[in-house]
Chains A and B, each alone.
Chain A
């Protein structure tokens, strides 16, 4: 059961990094990809139907952590308190910008929301880098510090941005598409870049998880939780697949956000 619980945790965490990472990365690059208000709205439309469905992978990861590994969850979150506060702040700011951008008029309002989306996305990516730097270095109870931590955080943030770029090439049209394509380069096929960054993104939480004492810290609740979660997981994946299939076409016009 502990192994299955660990596998589920890895599955949801990897799902978040691959899917959520794509819309976070695209958000990081929004000012580059979209130069005008309307173009930026198109960039947002490229991931608008997905971002809520993407971030719930992280919500589920956190739920699994507190349900199956409660003691570890408390140690990790309180130990990395200084990392999680900016992570959550960036997440809230970014989502607020996304949700509310289209709900009021005025250039100033939309510019503020775009800033929130880009700034929030960078904050989230850098905070993940900082957290991963700690986990890679085996420091569970202390936020990572020093030059290695800074370099890791920056490298992770760049990976997020590249992943978002690959996503943008697959989703956008028009000038924003052309700008993304220039950076990816003509040599590679668009999906190749995305597949590569997706594999790297999925590896991040899995490698970080290797350093966590997951096996010995599983709670007594796994016996009840894991079977129930295993039953519903295929249904969740099916619902997500339906969502991706529904909105698979490239975007040519702004959407609700």
Chain B
């Protein structure tokens, strides 16, 4: 193991996984919102809902695209940078990744293509079924990824054979509490992200007094009324995770120095000499930041749910509009700090108690790892900037001339058309 390669590989994983996670947070929540809106559009005769599907759907697709391309790096990164993990624990860890790609993502992508490009080719109900297919397989994706991650945090359902972990009890792996609780927590977090996003974008239009007041007052309410219950779900699943938490993470978070020393001594006795204390500053700061963001969001959600009940307030309370716009980054902050808390807090282990991070890194030269770190993080930074710019651009434009769901037959401009088909 080359210590420089290890540091570079960890930095690359942290930045790329963190970046990907934030795109996914909005995608997962917004998919649910769009699917619900399209359900309303299908079963009611109000054209407003159909317009909402196209507008919020457009923002969803932009964000989804960036999420996908960043996800590609994630799938390959385990083999590229962490071949020790695939060597030692791949039998257990890899199977949920295989399920994710084949059973969930494959269907999700096929259906998303059909949904985007098949807008006017299917009956309303088939088209609705497609977006629900996309949403549910996106949930399934998140579940399988968290099964993989849950195994790293709380390895269950395996036994050791010739120094490698093999799958022993599939059901135990798939119902790992560390995976199920995180799944509920992340799903709730994704819905909060989408709720705050809807409310913030809508507040911008109401603040600017754009003509679409009906459209955006409805959207703002959906955002606010979604965020409140989602916040309670997230907090419940988050609280439950504190119960079964790794003792060292708990001790570091609570700054119990005596407990840390005791656990360190125990681990040295069990696993041999080494430093078994994760970065205290990072773990504690991330945990506190997550809880602070939660507290702030709770005040905003409770107050928001009251305010949103009054029509006049929704239209005219401009200070609230500003607060809602400013609050859009809050769920992202909570998500990323929660993730750092979970992942940094279990170091030095990659598979808790079984495989150290330093033993999992690939035998790649520091030069190569540095180059890939530079390439991927600059690409991700560029993608994040493009995503931000395009989302702001399309969000500000409002629900006019949305490209998504445009009927191509109507859009044909004869003067602009290509020469007649010949083949």
Interface residues, chain A, with chain B CB atoms under 8 Å away: 12, 38-39, 42, 48-50, 52-53, 55-56, 59-60, 62-68, 70-71, 73-78, 81-82, 84-85, 88-89, 91-93, 95-96, 99-100, 102-104, 172-175, 177-178, 181, 219-221, 224-225, 228-229, 232-233, 235-236, 239-240, 242-243, 246-247, 250, 252-256
B421 within 8 Å of A by Cβ? yes
Q: How far is the CA of A100 from the CA of B383 in the complex (A)?
A: 10
CA distance A175 to B100 in the complex (A): 42
Provide the residues of chain A in CB contact with B86, threshold 8 Å.
66, 70-71, 73-74
Closest 9 CB pairs of A and B: A70-B90, A67-B98, A63-B101, A77-B79, A74-B83, A74-B86, A99-B65, A78-B362, A220-B166
In the complex, the answer to whether A52 meets B87 with C-beta atoms within 8 Å is no
Contact B69 A232 (CB under 8 A): no
Chain B contact residues: over half helix, strand or loop, or mixed?
helix
Question: Taking A177-B422, A243-B110 as contacts, is the C-beta distance between A56 and B79 under 8 angstroms?
Answer: no
* Residue from A60, A77, A256 in contact with B76 in the complex, judged by beta carbons closer than 8 Å: A77
- A38 and B417 alpha carbons, distance in the complex (Å): 9
A-B CB pair tally, cutoff 8 Å = 241
Contacts of A75 in B (CB 8 A): 83, 87
Chain A interface, >50% SS class: helix
B403 touches A256 (CB 8 A): yes
> Is the Cβ of A103 less than 8 Å from the Cβ of B62?
yes
Q: Which residues of A contact B98 (CB under 8 A)?
A: 63-64, 66-68, 221, 225, 229
Apart from A56-B105, A92-B379, what are 13 other A-B pairs with CB-CB below 8 Å? A56-B110, A63-B98, A64-B101, A66-B90, A67-B98, A74-B86, A75-B83, A78-B79, A85-B371, A89-B379, A100-B65, A242-B114, A247-B118
Q: Report the separation of the CA atoms of residues A247 and B73 in the bound assembly, to the nearest whole angstrom.
A: 29
Q: Which of A65, A95, A177, A225 contacts B69 (CB 8 A)?
A: A95
Partner of B393, one of A56, A78, A82, A104: A104
In the complex the two chains form, is B75's CB within 8 Å of A59's CB? Answer: yes
* Partner pick for B72 among A81, A92, A99, A242, CB 8 A cutoff: A92
**C-alpha spacing A219/B95, complex, angstroms:** 10
